[in-house]
A and B are shown apart, each in its own frame.
Chain A
Amino acid sequence: MSLTSDEVRSIARLARLAISDQDIPRYADNLSRILDFVAQLDKAETASVAPMAHPLDMSQQLRADVVTETNQRELFQKNAPQVEAGLYLVPKVIE
C-alpha cells in the first residue's frame, strides 16, 4: 500500500487539514506505513464474525423529555473567536 501525494492531498482535504506541499511526502510515507501495518488484518479469518462497535453489550439509556438547560450564551461565547449579535461569524456560506 503506497499512497500517492495526490491521495494524501485528497484525504487532507476531506479532513479539512491544510498540509504544506513540502510536508506531503512525509505524510505519504507515514500513512503508507500505517496502512501497510494495519493491512495485517487481512490475514484474520472473519467471515463468520460479527462486527463489534462497543465493548459492552448494553443498550441506549433514554432521557426524560425535560428542559433543564438555561441560556448561557455569554459564557459559552467567551471561547468563540468571532461573534456578533449573539451569532458565531464565519466567512460567507455559499449554498
Chain B
Amino acid sequence: MHTKTLAQLARDLKARKLSSEELTRSYLARIERFNPQLNAFITVLQEEALVAARAADARIKRGDVGVLTGVPLAHKDIFCTAGVKTSCGSKMLDNFVSPYDATVVERLRQAGMVLLGKTNMDEFAMGSSNETSFYGPVKNPWDPTRVPGGSSGGSAAAVAARLAPAATGTDTGGSIRQPAALTGLTGIKPTYGRVSRYGIIAFASSLDQAGVITYTAEDAALLLGAMAGFDPRDSTSVDRPVPDYTAALEHPLKGLRIGLPKEFFDQGLDGRVGAAVHAALTIYKKLGAEVRDISLPNFWLSVPTYYVVAPAECSSNLSRFDGVRFGHRCESPVDLLDLYTRSRGEGFGAEVKRRIMTGTYVLSAGYYDAYYLKAQKTRTLIRQDFIAAFENVDVIMGPATPTPAFGLGEKTEDPITMYLNDIYANGVNLAGLPGISIPMGFVDKLPVGLQIIGNYFDEARLLCAAHQYQRETDWHGQIPKGFQ
C-alpha cells in the first residue's frame, strides 16, 4: 500500500478496499523500521494514530466520509498539535506540549485525517539541510550521506521513504520546495495568506506559509483544498474562496505561457540541473505550452534581502522564548538577566542565535535604515519584477535548487554557502507568490526539482501544470532504493 499515492489511498479507503487502521498500522510499522536510520520523526503517535484510524473507519462505515477521511499524514513539528509535544526542532521547546491545534491541524483533523507523528526539521525552520535540528540531522533516503534539504527535511524524508503518504511543511524561504526537490517529491508553497498561519510557530511572519509535500500534484491539490481558506484568527489570511484544485487539474495546457528567467541560469547553477529544466520544458512544449525568455533584473537582490527581512522578523518573533511561561529555563537563575540570557543561550542552537543576532543588529538604532528599511525597498523591487513578468507569462519555471542534495556537513561551516542553496526560492517568499517544486529527473542518481512559480492565488494553475507534466513523466513515481 505504501507505494500508492495519497489520492489512490483515499479512493481505496472510500471504496473500502482497505481500512484506515490497516493503512495506519502499515505506516507505523514502516516508521518503526526505517525511522532510526532516517531520523525523520521527532514524535511518533503510535496509539493516538490508531485511535484516530479506528474513528475514521467508523465514519467511513457510516458513510460520513470526506475525500481525506482515514488517510494518514505527518505534520512538521512546527505546527501546534493539542496535547502533543511541539518542539520546532529546538531544545527550547523540547518539553513543550501545545495546548491547542494550529488551524491547519484542526482542519485536516476535521477532514478525518490520521496523524502519524511530528517530523524533524531545522531548528525553528532556520536551515536548508535539517542539520540545525536539536534532534539531529535527517538523512536523505536517496543517499544517507546527504541532506534531505530543509527546513521541512523530516517531512520530505518521511514521504520519500514512504513512511507517510504526505506531510505538511512550512516555507519561509524555500523550506518546502527545496527539500521536496532534493528528495524527488512534489512540494507546494501557496500564496502568502492562502493558508492560515495560526498555530504555526512563527519564524518570519511576512514570509511564512504552510504547504504540503506529496508524491503528486493531485495529492497536493486534495490536501491544499482542505487546508486553505480564510481564518479569522490570522489577520494576514485572505478572505477569498478556495477553488476546487482537483477539478482544475485536468485543464489543458495548450497556450500556457511559460516564462524562463535568464537570471536563473547564471553561474552557480549545476549545468546538469539546467539541462533537466530544458528537458522538462520540451515536454511542456509538447503539451502545447509556449516558452518565453524573461528577465527578473532584481533577482540578485533576493538572497541578501531575505537575509535581512527574515532575521529581523525572527529576532522579534523568538523573543517570547524567555523561560517564563513555557520552554526551556536555565537552572537556578541568579537574576532576571541571567534567566533570560542563559535560558535563551542554552535553548537555542547556533544558527538560530546567528539569525537572532543578525536580526537584532539590522533593526537596531543606527542600522535600521541601512539594512532593514533598505531591504524593505529592495523587496518592493523584487515583487515588481514578478508582477511585470506576469503581465506576459502565466507561470515562471526554473530550477528549484542549484544542485542536487549536498553531503551532510558539507555546508555547515559557511552560512552564506548554505543560504545560497535557496537562491531560487527566497524571492518567491519575498513577493508572497505561490511556488511548487516537482521532480524533473536525476543528477548523480539524486533527484532534482523543477520550480513553477505562479501569480498571486494561482495555485490551481500551478497544480494543473504540475499534474499535466506528471502524466507525461514518472519521475515522481520513483522510490529510493531500500524503501520500495
Chain A in direct contact with chain B (Cβ < 8 angstroms): yes
A47 to B208, CA, bound (A): 28
Interface size class of A (residues with CB under 8 A): 35 or more
A93 to B370, CA, bound (A): 35
Asked if A86 CB lies within 8 Å of chain B CBs, one says: no
Interface stretch of the complex, out of B19-27, B91-99, B120-128, B465-473: B91-99
Which residues on the B side are within 8 Å of A16 (C-beta)?
319, 322, 337, 340-341, 344
Inter-subunit contact B193/A35 (CB<8 Å) = no
C-beta contact mask, B287-308 vs A, less than 8 Å → 1, else 0?
A: 0000000000010110111011
Inter-subunit contact B380/A49 (CB<8 Å) = yes
Q: Report the minimum CB–CB distance from B427 to chain A (whole Å).
A: 11
Inter-subunit contact A55/B432 (CB<8 Å) = yes
B-contacting residues, A11-69, CB 8 Å:
11-19, 27, 30-31, 33-35, 37-42, 44, 46, 49-56, 58, 60-61, 63
By DSSP majority rule, is chain B's interface helix, strand, loop, or mixed?
A: helix
Asked if A82 CB lies within 8 Å of chain B CBs, one says: yes
Asked if B371 CB lies within 8 Å of chain A CBs, one says: yes
A-contacting residues, B333-354, CB 8 Å:
333-342, 344-346, 348, 353-354
Interface-central residue, A38, A78, A94, by most chain B CB under 10 Å:
A38
Inter-subunit contact A49/B415 (CB<8 Å) = no
Residue of A nearest to B298 (CB): A44
Contact of A50 among B303, B308, B324, B380 (CB under 8 A): B380
Contact of A52 among B319, B377, B416 (CB under 8 A): B377
Asked if B112 CB lies within 8 Å of chain A CBs, one says: no
Q: A37-B307, A38-B375, A46-B374 are in contact. Are A81 and B329 (CB under 8 A)?
A: yes
Asked if B46 CB lies within 8 Å of chain A CBs, one says: no
Which residues on the B side are within 8 Å of A85 (C-beta)?
none
Asked if B281 CB lies within 8 Å of chain A CBs, one says: no
Residue of B nearest to A82 (CB): B329
- List 19 extra interface pairs beyond A15-B315, A90-B336, A91-B339, CB under 8 A: A17-B341, A34-B415, A38-B307, A41-B374, A51-B379, A52-B376, A52-B380, A54-B236, A55-B431, A56-B193, A56-B236, A56-B456, A58-B236, A72-B99, A80-B324, A80-B326, A82-B329, A91-B334, A94-B336
Q: Lowest 6 A-B CB distances belong to which pairs?
A: A55-B432, A18-B345, A51-B376, A79-B326, A81-B329, A46-B377
